[in-house]
Amino acid sequence: MIPLRIDDPADPRIAGFVSIKERDLTGRHGRFIAEGTVVLRMLAAAHRAGRGIEAEAILLLENRVDGVSGILAEFPADIPVYVASAPVFDAIAGFNMHRGVLALGKRQSAPGLDALAGNLPEKSLVLAACGISNHDNMGSMFRNAAAFGVDAVLMDETSCDPMYRKAIRVSVGSVLSVPFAREGSVTALIGLLQAEGFAIWGLSPRGQTDLDNIPPSPRTVLLAGTEGEGLPENIMASIQTARIRQRPGLDSLNVATATGIALHQVAMINGFI
């Protein structure tokens, strides 16, 4: 790849990168921004693997080109690579906390909830989410999912979009490697997973079972609720629930921390790690 020089922030070739902090690229025909060298490498891997995720263009700060040349070689030769000076780069992006490495990607049509859940392996670990609204937490949950062998992340329609730039960055690109679906109600999600033979465990400080006592199951789902309020009572009443033992005086753990602890425990007892 021979980088193409950009000297004008208004150059139409880099229109997709303009003012990315203020623009919500998610929902615009599936496009998203990938940021940083680690995420760029994950994007290259996803593109090669044919997971329905493709790179459309790459924008680099001029002093970052040599350092990422190995990663650039992992992309198809027809992906344009643009390079700009720091003032031009900042003017394009609209902010200067970008690490000098940005890529514009697109998520093509992906399996819906029914198709994804219906094609999971006989031995599967799933992370489910209800009403997660914080992109940092969403990204951390995907990072946990990748670390502990989760086969899919399934979210209700009230959860935030994991393809948002900050969620992708916090996940260190795991959003691009872990299959996911986000649609419908949590009630419908639970019903679908129960029909597929999954043991569903809701995580809550009000859970009835200690996390250590969750029995092994070839198909297990851990369900996390919204930050603060947690899982609704009617949902808690419809599934098995588990709690993480902790010292008194603190209401609950952060949802990303809780899912990391719980996924590690369940992955261990079921042999996923």
CATH value of 113-269 in 3.40.190.10, 3.40.50.1820, 3.40.1280.10, 3.30.70.2860: 3.40.1280.10
Q: Which two tokens stand for residue 248?
A: 């008194």
pLDDT of residue 51: 77
pLDDT of residue 170: 95
Task: Provide the 3-class DSSP secondary structure of residue 54.
Answer: strand
Q: What is the average pLDDT across 3-28?
A: 80
Domain boundaries along the sequence of the chain: 4-107, 113-269
Sign of CA dihedral 9, 13, 15, 19: negative
Asked whether residue 21 carries a pLDDT value surpassing 70, the answer given is: no
According to DSSP, the residues that pair with 8 across neighbouring strands are none
**Per-residue pLDDT tens over the stretch 171-227:** 999 999 999 999 999 999 999 999 999 999 999 999 999 999 999 999 999 999 998
**Distance in angstroms (rounded) separating the CA atoms of residues 253 and 15:** 41
- Please tell me the CATH code under which domain 4-107 is placed: 3.30.1330.30
Contact 96, 68 (CB under 8 A): no
